[in-house]
Amino acid sequence: VVCVGGDGMFSEVMHGLIGRMQKDSGIDQNNPKAPLVHTCTLVVGVILGSTDCICYSTVGISDPVTSALHIIIGDCQPLDVSSVHHNNTFLKYYVSLLGYGFYGDILKDSEKKRWMGPMRYDYSGFKTFLFHHYYEGTISFQPAKHTLGSPRDKDSCRTGCYICKKSEQQLAEQQKESGLKHEEDEEEWRVIKGKFLAINAVNMSCACPRSPKGLSPAAHLADGSADLILVRKCSRFDFLRYLVRHTNQDDQFDFSFVNVYRVKSFQFTSKLSEDNESNVMDIGKKRFGHFCRDHPSCCCNTANTTWNCDGETLDSSAIEVRVHCQLMKLFARGIEENGKDEAAYSQSSTEQLL
């Protein structure tokens, strides 16, 4: 299957293929614990569009000719796919970013300004940064103990990645031993409560021309895990420092208010949802709610934000997410390691100029 378009077109094709495969196999997609059937017989090729995070993270460049060549040659790169559920109801699949807070606010605001074109993302991003909203909630997750490495190491996912291959082997062994029986509920869950400026779950580095290393430089394409990035409430200046780190070579996780975990599943419930379920009324926010709405910069939010799910909005704040290892395949080879050749290439280019 070959599609010409950006991340949005790829998402539409992915949902159609995975959904049809589960339907034909009798799998209930509304069951968050259901073992999904892999689309191994189908490979998707993407020729670039307006937003190309997936191509940039799997090929290393945003170039339609390169993408077409990978399709012609027949290169194949497996991809992890995560499913998102709310109250045992299937919502979406995603392969790159699931973001709550900062990135959710940007998407929500930019949807109202489509007339601005691509510039709406810059405008909404600047506006969201100034408002500096934070959201209170509880996040619980299962660490991905089956994978090698960590989000803080320097082992980026490259062509022929050992970590991804090892995860594929472990997945096959687990299926043989357990017979697709799920024992996840018996495993350890970690719970974190707090006030967050951003909650991001990425299945890949999410690299792009503006952020060459991406949101999580060591995230892997096919290891059966996601990197969960929690940015706690902090000052605007500190948050700006964190954002700037995405554009250079510094470690963006080297802040006291930033935590990153490699997980295979997680759940999130906002404080507002918890209060509604327990019928707890916040008198202060009820009394001054009109002030908070008229002055959003006060950071006292009376409503939830939306999730940014691969560029699509999800209004359900309480969600359950699971990573499905190598659920589909893409016409790509992965990013080739060329760091060792950069010095030689630079030297040869200089000699040619001289």
Question: Which residues are identified as catalytic?
Answer: 7
Amino acid letter at 288?
Answer: F
C-alpha distances in angstroms, 45 versus 3, 14, 40, 152? 6, 11, 14, 31
List CB contacts of 314: < 8 A, sequence separation 6 or more: 84, 91, 92, 306, 307, 308
Tokens of 223: 């290891």
State the greatest distance between any 2 C-alpha atoms of the chain, in Å, as a whole number: 75
Distance CA(92)–CA(80), nearest Å, equals 14
Distance CA(154)–CA(221), nearest Å, equals 15
SS3 66: helix
Which contiguous run of DSSP H or E holds residue 2?
A: strand 2-4
Place of tokens 């790159």: 96
